Amino acid sequence: MNLTKYQDALDQADSLKRYGKVLRAVGLMIESLGPEANIGEVCRIHSTAKKKYVTAEVVGFSNEKIILMPYAQVTEIGPGCLVESTGKALTVKIGRGLIGNVVNSVGECLDDSKLPKGLSSYLTEQAPPNPLTRPPISEPIQTGVKSIDSLLTVGKGQRIGIFAGSGVGKSTLLGMIARNSSADINVIALIGERGREVREFIDQELGEEGLKKSIVVVATSDQPALMRIKGAYTATAISEYFRDLGYQVNLLMDSITRIAMAQREVGLAIGEPPTTKGYTPSVFAALPKLLERTGTSRSGTITAFYTVLVDGDDMNEPIADSVRGILDGHFILDRKLAEQGHFPAINVLKSISRVMRKIVSQKHIDAARQIRELMATYEENNELIQIGAYKRGTNQEIDRAISYHPKINAFLKQGISDYHALEESIDQMQKLLNGGV
């Protein structure tokens, strides 16, 4: 019997457990003297009062002092508490048995039930794929939303930003895409949401049918900053796992802005200088690392929809500007449209899908271009038309735009529970241009 590998394992094993001790805790940060640990490693801080521990992650160090951020609220931790390193980064349990479940940022079931058996351990932080191993996006994916499928067609493996202020319908739109999409599986990350909205989203926006092919990752606004950040990484890791199995995955993340705010909290706590609007440099370094992990690979695709909550409807604020430059397209939700009862409130003229021309037919492109031209012409002359200063017959293009305006508006509106297949949406667009309703 060959015992060499066992002897090698014994030689490499360390029989001593090394601990550090807590020196101080200030705000989000816990500082300890030791143990030996690298950035990203998970540590356990043992409570003095009870045989319990708080899980934390190494986010920085200064000489021999380790800076830790806890995954949970810190209670019963004081000076001198023992700090033990696990020697590894955060891993979560992932597998097909997870489908239909709601989990927290570290992969535990939110209803306190046990995880299904047969799951695999998977690191939450992975490197983005090599650019040369990414196949080009070549075919469309159905979202079930007419205005998107017809005028802003999304490809399998595309990454889209949904930009809007608060209360304009981002979550509702995500729910429609999750229910109606042609993807094999949805991974939905609710980051920094109000606790009340989580149950509402699952029961009302997603529904029973949507949950059957979804995994929901939840990190509510009351949780520590690190848990909100890890929620995004865990959801992305789950998506990567299923992509590598050959699935067509939809990742729907709400919202990137709250992840950036959580990263800012962590950065300020460990002493980073604030820059644009108080955001630390690590925020702008972390965004591309997270967003570039999704997309196409040799085995499957992750089509990602990221919502961006813009302050005061300012589409050029730092996070919105940075995210828009990384992604493959953006949908702008317009508050004016929402106030008029136009849902989904997508401003088609301000939105773009950067891969649409490569994945649809020339006939589809021509029809979409014609509708955009009609909408743009009406928008340019809207004030003249509304005050009655424009006389019909003056300009043939404006006359045509006025006659098509109510038909286009009716086409772009869609009820929350309405479902339209990709081909059906394209056919309706063609009929609209040919004089149909």
Q: Residue 207 — pLDDT band, cuts 50, 70, 90?
A: confident
Tens digits of per-residue pLDDT, 329-375? 999 999 999 999 899 999 999 999 999 999 999 999 999 999 999 99
Q: Write the pLDDT tens digit of every residue in 72-89.
A: 887 778 888 999 998 889
**386 pLDDT exceeds 90?**
no
Q: What value does the mean pLDDT take over residues 27-43? A: 89
pLDDT 10s digits, 244-271: 999 999 999 998 999 999 999 999 988 8
Average of per-residue pLDDT across 30-55: 86
Residue 437: predicted pLDDT: 53
Whole-model pTM?
A: 0.91
Query: The CATH number of 17-89 is which of 3.10.580.10, 3.40.50.920, 2.40.30.20, 3.40.50.2000?
Result: 2.40.30.20
Q: What is the pLDDT of residues 128-176, one digit of tens each?
A: 989 999 999 999 999 999 999 999 999 999 999 999 988 888 888 999 9
Q: Provide the percentage of residues in the chain whose pLDDT is more than 70.
A: 97
Instruction: Find out whether 437 and 403 touch, Cβ atoms under 8 Å.
Output: no
Residue 101, pLDDT score: 93
Considering the domain 363-434, what is its CATH architecture? Up-down Bundle (1.20)
Domain 92-358 carries which CATH code?
3.40.50.12240
Domains of the chain, residue spans: 17-89, 92-358, 363-434
Q: What is the pLDDT of residue 26?
A: 84
Q: Which of 37-46, 70-79, 222-231 has the lowest mean pLDDT?
A: 70-79
